Amino acid sequence: MQNRLKNPLEFGRFISPKTDLKKQEDFSVRETRVPQASIFESYSEHEFGKQLKRLSDRIDDFSHIILPVIEKDLVSQSVQPVGRRVLSIESIFRCMVLKQMLQISYDCLSFHLTDSMSYRTFTRLPDGVYPKKSSLQMTIRGIKSETLEAIFNELSSECFANGKLLLDTIRIDSTVVKSNISEPNDSQLLNDGVRVLSRLLSKSREMTGIKIRFTDKRKESKSLAFRIFNAKKAEKVTIYPKLLHVVEIVLKQVGRALGKVKLESVDCVLQRKWMTQVEYYRDLLLKVVDQTVRRVIYEESVPSSEKIVSLFESHTDIIVKGPRDAEYGHKVNLSSDKNGFISYLSIEDGNPSDAERFIPIIHGHLNCYKEVSKSVVSDGCYASLANVCEGRALGIQHVVFHKKRGISLLAMGVKRKTFTRLKNFRAGIEGNISELKRAFGVSKAKWKGCSVY
């Protein structure tokens, strides 16, 4: 064995198959980039293939900014440079971009990376490397949201310094990025709570070592929720109390189970995980019960800030823009220049009015680029005389809203001809938003959880 291990890089070959996966990962080498591209790499002549090639070229142009930032999340300083090769930093980032563009699951992404030469070429996968969905999920989710925000800020500053991002005139608008949930209703939320908590109770012996005896109410809850969904309003009022009674029974069973596990179970990682999950979903279900009683039984109007619309994406906000239907997700404010580059983006908590967010957006530009634009034009929802005064005090010459809302052209600092030109320029951001949603998957956030929204 000594003779066979003269080259320390070969050590990874002799790890026993029974070795723990975590220990195997300690002997993995994660390269930043694949040093040499394969001669067999090629893109399809289809329009999407050409788009992937152009995007790949842009990633190469800024790889000196992107890869060092991501490397901090994916490479442990304690790992020695020996052992088997894993996905490179560059390939992981490109896989993440591809998944976002295609809006597909990790399983589908794994299939496409096996099947499509264009996708393999874009992601720079070495010959013979076919990542599984678990590997893709572990590595891609290892990239933190703060890291992606830092990359956006670095790229924006670099483009501004090179003259590719022009901030003389910017346009501002807001949109909604939907959460990956179905249309919410109280009966379905109650049924979801019963289903999840009952499933956790059934797994108590596996995760805590304590067997919990309970009455399974999932079938009855599902039947009542289905009847409510298809019933008329008068009939719903009579069925809801029955469903709430089922939920009450389940919550009592959960309370007894938590007490028993705390007293009898041995403290371990799985036990703490089980208790955390049970308490989390129990608290959410209690909020759903409260809003259901108030809305259905007492016919109260519950403020949107107090409502739960999903147990699985509980961070979701209710967004109502004007007379339009309610949307479920998060409001996003963004700005772009005349070339269509996104110069600023912020994900808001709740549903703040656009007028409240105008000055923070200007300050965001100041913090990132250290200067203000000459002209700023935005949607009429941002209009207020206070925003005009504060914007001009910061050094902006033209603060324009495409709907004047009682604000004179003199106060905005423009003449009619300039107002018309900037008003027409503002319409271009609608196309920017449309492209983000259609081509880059921003219409719906399919990443699970608030931290990766």
**394 touches 365 (CB < 8 A):** no
Amino acid in the structure at residue 80: Q
Strand (E) or helix (H) holding 317: strand 317-319
Q: Is the dihedral of CA 122, 435, 333, 399 positive or negative?
A: positive
Q: Which of 81-90, 283-292, 298-307 has the lowest mean pLDDT?
A: 81-90
Rg of the chain over CA atoms, in angstroms? 27
Summarised one tens digit per residue, pLDDT across range 341-396 is 999 999 998 889 999 999 999 999 999 999 889 999 999 899 999 999 999 999 99
- CATH match of 150-179+319-445 with 3.30.420: yes
Cα gap 323→345, rounded to integer Å: 25
Cα gap 366→378, rounded to integer Å: 17
How confident is the model at residue 85, as a pLDDT? 62
Helical H runs in 265-384?
269-292, 354-369
How confident is the model at residue 233, as a pLDDT? 85
Other CB atoms within a 10 A radius of the CB of residue 128 amount to 5
Q: Which residues of 106-118 are buried (b: 16+ CB within 10 A; e: fewer)?
A: beebbebbeeeeb
Burial tier of 408 (Cβ tally within 10 Å: 0-12, 13-18, 19+): exposed
The stretch 281-290 carries a mean pLDDT of 96
Q: Which of 11-25, 72-86, 174-188, 324-338 has the lowest mean pLDDT?
A: 11-25
Burial tier of 417 (Cβ tally within 10 Å: 0-12, 13-18, 19+): exposed
Most confident of 266-275, 284-293, 395-404: 284-293
φ, ψ (nearest 5 deg) of residue 401: -120, 135
**Residue ranges of domains in the chain:** 3-143, 150-179+319-445, 186-306
**Nearest one of 257, 254, 256 to 281, comparing CA atoms:** 254
Sort strands 169-179 and 444-445 into parallel, antiparallel or unpaired: parallel
How confident is the model at residue 30, as a pLDDT? 66
The stretch 315-324 carries a mean pLDDT of 82
The stretch 53-82 carries a mean pLDDT of 81
DSSP code, position 400: E
**160 touches 366 (CB < 8 A):** no
Indicate the pLDDT class of residue 449, thresholds 50, 70 and 90: confident
Return the axis-axis angle of helices 89-102 and 106-115, rounded to nearest 10°: 110
pLDDT at 235 > cutoff 60: yes
φ, ψ (nearest 5 deg) of residue 443: -65, -30
How confident is the model at residue 4, as a pLDDT? 37
Q: Would you give the distance in Å from CA 12 to the centre of its chain? A: 36
Phi/psi-derived region of residue 345, left when phi > 0, alpha when psi is between -120 and 50, beta in every other case: beta
How confident is the model at residue 264, as a pLDDT? 86
Cα gap 9→333, rounded to integer Å: 50
The stretch 305-327 carries a mean pLDDT of 86
**332 touches 177 (CB < 8 A):** yes
